[in-house]
Amino acid sequence: MADPLLTRLWRAAIAVFALAVTGGAAAQDLLPGLQPFAAKGELVVAVIDRDAPPMIMTGEDGGPRGFDIQLINAFSKSLRIPLRIVRTAKTYDELIAQVAGGDADIAISNLSRSTQRALYVRFTRPYMRQNPTLLVNRARNIRYAKDCPNARQVARLLATEGAVAVQRGTFYEELARQLAPDTEPTAFDDFADLAAGVRAGSLSISLQGEILARTYLNDNPAARIYVRLCEIAEWEDQIAIAVRPDAPELVDLLDIFLENRKVSVDAETVVLRIDRWGF
């Protein structure tokens, strides 16, 4: 017997395809959560306004490119729904606010799925997993010269004012607040400033995702003289697509697309492949 959900979603996909071909006549036949997109004839996608390679970058033509852009373009082409990309969010938390408030239909930008964010938006299944990482200044942290701090030690470090810095408006600022609620985390607007501070020794340790840390060290190999990369294997950062809360059918369609295309990668693979991902 066919799975009723899969049957329903297959019919929805056919209806969306028919909608693109017929110019809107079938909008009323779509599932309720898909009808708003059919009515306006586009999917509004929120993307962070700064480059975060290799997930989000700016091409020579001024338009966005990168892993996340290729992924969402492939989804758009598979359903023949045009995209309109909006790059106005200054932080990742602002991306969530845009989707929750209806200014965007979805958000994609190396976006971490968290319990706090899931109070306001829906999330697809994760399409990438990465470990939280630390960039540790070698000179200021001799005690970690041989062994990286474990999760319990990181939690203690976060509770020490000024010991660990994070990027503002990210999952890692949220994580720092959860692990050390009585300590205000040191936060920077730009990851480049954060990493540069650890390298120079003005900052002791930074907490961020594996993608950012590996990309920074690949682009700045001399930094490894001053900075050590530590992975926190006990924790996992799940990267997913945020979807407006009134569109569960859109989440279902995105999940089926991710499963059919077998999009499930780790951070190291994404960084090493550069532009050769292919969806």
* CATH code of the domain containing 109: 3.40.190.10
Relative orientation angle of helices 248-260 and 67-79, to the nearest 10 degrees:
110
Q: How many CA atoms lie within 13 A of 273 on its CB side?
A: 13
Domain limits for position 146: 132-235
The rounded distance, in Å, linking the Cα atoms of 88 and 26 is 32
pTM of the complete model: 0.86
Digit-coded pLDDT (tens) for 246-272? 999 999 999 999 999 999 998 888 888
State the angle between helix axes of 171-179 and 151-158 in degrees (0 to 180), rounded to the nearest 10.
90
Structure tokens at 142: 């001799």
8 Å CB contact between 198 and 186: no
Are residues 217 and 244 located together in one domain of the fold? no
Instruction: Identify the pLDDT of residue 40.
Output: 82
Examine residue 279 and state whether it is found in any structural domain, yes or no.
no
Burial class of residue 235 in the structure, from the number of CB atoms within 10 Å of its CB (0-12 exposed, 13-18 middle, 19+ buried): middle
Q: Are residues 32 and 53 part of one domain?
A: yes
Domains identified in the chain, total number = 2
Same domain, 204 and 91: no
Highest mean pLDDT among 61-65, 139-143, 222-226: 222-226
Domain assignment of residue 198, yes or no? yes
- Give the span between the Cα atoms of 43 and 85, in whole angstroms: 8
